[in-house]
Structure 1
Amino acid sequence: MQRQLYSRIRCVGTIYLVRHGQASFGSDDYDKLSQRGHEQAARLGSSWASAGIVPTRRVSGSMRRQRETATGVVAAGDAGAPHRVDPQWNEFEHVGMTAQHAQDSGGDQKVFQASLNLALAQWMSGEGDFPESYADFCTRIRTGFADVVAAAGPGGKVAVFSSAGPIALVVSHLLTASDALFTTLNDVVVNASVTTVIVGRTGPRLLTFNDHAHVLPGLATYR
């Protein structure tokens, strides 16, 4: 019985969906990590090292904040796994979206969030002129997720460094087989948080969502 249980555990693959560390909100270049964002990535790397979590593969989107988070985690303890850049894991263009609305955040995160929510509703309904349609975004993320599910394989551990939008969409589909929870989940994904998915014989299943104990206390941020 124990041998059979151990065999089943070894056959389970694990996917760690990591949101990037805090970006440089309000600066000329949003797409780089802030000092706090670098600290968050280092905290995650140290946490993984302490827990003995060693990914067999690493994937990041091509956005700077995603790549810098992956680099920071590696520098703090997650070394050795090959790293592949896959633009399928890029975030939707939320900064450009808010520019289509009259509100100017002026560095105010609450104003920015309100503007983003208006833009999201318009984008998801198929209205407006956006560089990528919502339907294309969904197809891109689901394709990227299918790729890492295949890569996880028996006993594999794949770390994916992405953003709130892709993670929220994946989790919504795992829980509801639809995008019904996308906007709700997108609002609450913490910077440098980890969402864990296990892959077994029946396919991928959500194990944990938005784990951010490693950035508590004092370093947790949402944007």
Structure 2
Amino acid sequence: MTEVLLVRHGQASLGGPSYDQLSTLGYQQAQWLADYLHAQHQLNPKAAMVVSGGMKRQQQTAEPILGHLGHTSALEQSGFKEFDFESVVMSYLELNPGYPLADKPTSNDLYRLLSAAMETWAESGLKLHAHQESWLDFHHRVAQAWAELQPLKDGRSIIVTSAGVIASILRQLLRLDNRATIQLNLQIKNSSVTRLHYDGSHYHLSGFNSVSHLEHPERLHAITSA
């Protein structure tokens, strides 16, 4: 049976010069994930391919996976790039200049802010600039990339992407509404694996947001979502 793994990138560099760059922990998460997938592959060898949305943090997460498979590069599908969450948040703050954001916001503060911004975006309540995607445009882009995907028959296709894209794919497959899509998005952990099986006509969800490679006492600190 055809297997598709949706992998979220490792922890990015939140607060650094560029978010689109794995943090030191993000690189470690990616390596642990690659080792885990390699062990699974040895137990159940299949033809495999790796697809990336092409963002730096996605490509950097894919690199150790490719190394274990003996591949030189991932196939790039720009439709699997993340939406520009920073511009969504900034557009929300422009509409809400009095939003109570601390000078040094905690992860919970940022979670609430992103949730509120995404809900407003989904309701077409943001004043978007010409370069910004609407909520529907984003999901249309992901759906088009998903439709163009040609997973390996009786093989394993690994898509290294981001939380918004994974939530969008599941939105399509599970027919989720806006609120459920946003809630799903905000749950997805760094370097997590969501597993799908394809029977030739339908995709079936068999695992969501798994971080088995991090569920060891010495690695629990590495379970992150930002």
For 1:152, what is the secondary structure of its paired residue?
coil
Q: TM-score, normalised by structure 1?
A: 0.86
Q: Which residue among 72, 75, 81 is the counterpart of 1:90?
A: 81
For residues 171 and 135 of structure 1, the distance between their equivalents in structure 2, rounded to whole angstroms, comes to 15
User: Is the Cα–Cα contact under 8 Å of residues 52 and 160 in structure 2 kept in the other structure?
Assistant: yes
For residues 220 and 195 of structure 1, the distance between their equivalents in structure 2, rounded to whole angstroms, comes to 15
Q: TM-score, normalised by structure 2?
A: 0.85
Structure 1 residue ranges without an equivalent (≥5) = 1-11
**Aligned pairs, number:** 209
- 2:63 aligned residue: 71
The offset of 1:28, in angstroms, is 1.6
In the alignment, is residue 221 of structure 1 matched against residue 213 of structure 2?
no
For residues 119 and 56 of structure 2, the distance between their equivalents in structure 1, rounded to whole angstroms, comes to 26
- List per-residue Cα deviations over 1:40-80 (Å, max 9, x = no partner): 110111011111266622111121111111113223x2333
For residues 8 and 208 of structure 2, the distance between their equivalents in structure 1, rounded to whole angstroms, comes to 11
Q: In 2 relative to 1, CA 49–105 (structure 1 residues): closer, same or farther, beyond 3 Å?
A: farther
Q: In 2 relative to 1, CA 205–43 (structure 1 residues): closer, same or farther, beyond 3 Å?
A: same
For residues 207 and 6 of structure 2, the distance between their equivalents in structure 1, rounded to whole angstroms, comes to 10
User: Is the Cα–Cα contact under 8 Å of residues 63 and 73 in structure 2 kept in the other structure?
Assistant: no
- 2:124 aligned residue: 126
**5 Å matches for 1:1-223?**
12-52=1-41, 56-75=48-67, 77-80=68-71, 83-100=74-91, 101=93, 102=97, 103=101, 106=104, 108-130=106-128, 131-148=132-149, 151-176=150-175, 179=178, 181-216=180-215, 217-218=219-220, 219-223=222-226
Q: In 2 relative to 1, CA 27–107 (structure 1 residues): closer, same or farther, beyond 3 Å?
A: farther
For residues 55 and 64 of structure 1, the distance between their equivalents in structure 2, rounded to whole angstroms, comes to 25
For residues 86 and 106 of structure 1, the distance between their equivalents in structure 2, rounded to whole angstroms, comes to 36
For residues 75 and 200 of structure 2, the distance between their equivalents in structure 1, rounded to whole angstroms, comes to 26
- 1:9 aligned residue: none
For residues 114 and 180 of structure 1, the distance between their equivalents in structure 2, rounded to whole angstroms, comes to 14
For residues 171 and 20 of structure 2, the distance between their equivalents in structure 1, rounded to whole angstroms, comes to 25
What code does the residue aligned with 2:61 have? T
What do you get for the CA RMSD once the two structures are aligned?
2.0
User: Is the Cα–Cα contact under 8 Å of residues 188 and 225 in structure 2 kept in the other structure?
Assistant: yes
Structure 2 residue ranges without an equivalent (≥5) = none
